Amino acid sequence: MPRVVPSRRDRPRPDITPARIRAVEAGSPAERAGVGAGWELLRVNRLGIPDILAYRRELGRGSARIEVRDPADGRLVEFEVAWEDPGLEFEDVIFDGIRLCANKCDFCYIHQMPQGMRDSLYIMDDDFRTSFLYGSFVTLTNLTDDDLERILDEQLSPLYVSVHSADEERRHGLMKPWPHKVPDAGAAGIRTMIERLEPIDLYTQMVLLPGRNDGPSLTATLEYLASRPNVLAVATVPVGLTGHRRNLPELEPYGPDGARAVLQRVRAFQERMLAERGTRFVFASDELYLVAGEPLPPAEAYEGYPMLENGIGMVRDFLDEPPDTLPERLEGRRRALLVTGKLFAPVLERAVAPLRGIDGLELEVRAVPNRTFGEVTTVAGLLAGRDLLEAVRPGEADLLLISPNMLKYGTRTMLDDLTVDDVAVALGMPVVPGGSSLGQLARTLLQGEAADVAPSFGFSTHAVKEASEQH
């Protein structure tokens, strides 16, 4: 019989940071074993468990011996499960700490953040596990051979990868990886990584900087990415700048001409790919169309919106669910104020035009200046609660509708930790998220309260990345 050599991942490892248990399901094996909220998971099948993926993987083997500890008195408990969920819910999905990035990108949003935001917004997450779990973009410069082996072995697919440029020197110049933080400089090149990850599907993005990686360089990168069978699509997003760039290289945002030039290249590539492969392959972010002043593509041009969270097609998706039949009048008068970022305000103004005919409904769309990040920042997702308090006078409306993108995913909390309720109290009026489609927005306006507002994309994992569409 040949000797079975366990892969690196399967070899017993020293204890990893214990995973804190948030809750224990009633009637579950864990509860029957006496485990409670606040306890810690130590090992499964004698192995240290670095994250939820490894935990699920061990459970997937069928039988699992689970070791937990009560930190209050150090008591250890072991119990076994066989094809049954133990009933543990954890505080985090990553148990051994988020893998931080090894770069110092010229355009990094975290380096140009104002102070006083929520702590989690300053975490420079570049962790392939959150990429797989949540779709956050990673650069791959911090991967070790063990990580690569694990990604391939566990088929962590798809991953979301920030490419920026397939020209290694140019990419290096944009991202400036720290030599002492990159585990293997020889293997950290983006082409090497993409090629080593060939069995893994990749959604990629390019954060574009005027004159740095657009023009012919953009086309060359698209050519390379299109040549790789595991690259499914490319998102092109413009660099996002704030008014808090200190000790950072001078960068220019895109103006209408620059954005139009990018769109021209993207469209030319799309047409070719559509004819050759039946997919457009490359997509431009909403921001590029809005800055260029060009019409947004129709819904079908987004091919199912695979990168919606990255600002690719969000506006089209919002506009394409129209309001239901509108009433002629409201019972009673209602003054509603819709606040959003400067970029989206003109689109919203046009979109709500049909609602202006409703008798008794007074509507105002207001573009809120971003004093927190600086007025160069025009997306709604980076408005903070304090910006609303500066832009709206107490009692000036009966209802304030905010963009759901201003809220942390699944919560009512804004970037500066002010909640929707804090703003409502300060302004003396109901404040509600307006919904992620025009139809939801209209229902909210007519009912005077949030109707069926679906969770919106917010600031879940790599908070600022998601809001600013870059990493």
- Residues of this chain that interact with ligand SF4 (CB under 6 A) are 101, 103-105, 108, 110, 124, 126, 139, 175, 471
Smallest separation (angstroms) from ligand SF4 to the CB of 158: 19
The residue (of 171 and 443) whose beta carbon lies closer to ligand SF4 is: 171
Among candidates 266, 253, 100, 249, which has minimal Cα distance to 173?
A: 249
The residue (of 104 and 335) whose beta carbon lies closer to ligand SF4 is: 104
The residue (of 101 and 312) whose beta carbon lies closer to ligand SF4 is: 101
Smallest separation (angstroms) from ligand SF4 to the CB of 413: 22
Among candidates 291, 463, 305, 278, which has minimal Cα distance to 384?
A: 463
Q: Are 355 and 324 in contact (CB under 8 A)?
A: no
The residue (of 370 and 468) whose beta carbon lies closer to ligand SF4 is: 468
Distance of CA 225 to the CA centre of its chain: 22
Q: How far apart are CA 58 and CA 74, in angstroms?
A: 24
Q: How far apart are CA 379 and CA 347, in angstroms?
A: 12
Task: Say how many C-beta atoms besides its own lie within 10 A of residue 58's C-beta.
Answer: 19
Q: Are 391 and 403 in contact (CB under 8 A)?
A: no
Smallest separation (angstroms) from ligand SF4 to the CB of 344: 23
Smallest separation (angstroms) from ligand SF4 to the CB of 100: 8
Distance of CA 262 to the CA centre of its chain: 23
The residue (of 124 and 358) whose beta carbon lies closer to ligand SF4 is: 124
Smallest separation (angstroms) from ligand SF4 to the CB of 122: 10
Give Cβ neighbours of residue 440 (< 8 Å, ≥ 6 apart): 321, 434, 451, 452, 453, 454
The residue (of 105 and 414) whose beta carbon lies closer to ligand SF4 is: 105
Smallest separation (angstroms) from ligand SF4 to the CB of 407: 22
* Paired strand residues for 237: 207
The residue (of 239 and 450) whose beta carbon lies closer to ligand SF4 is: 239
Which burial class, exposed, middle or buried, applies to 381 when counting CB atoms under 10 A from its CB (0-12, 13-18, 19+)? buried
Smallest separation (angstroms) from ligand SF4 to the CB of 215: 22
In degrees to the nearest 10, what's the CA dihedral of 120, 121, 127, 133? 80
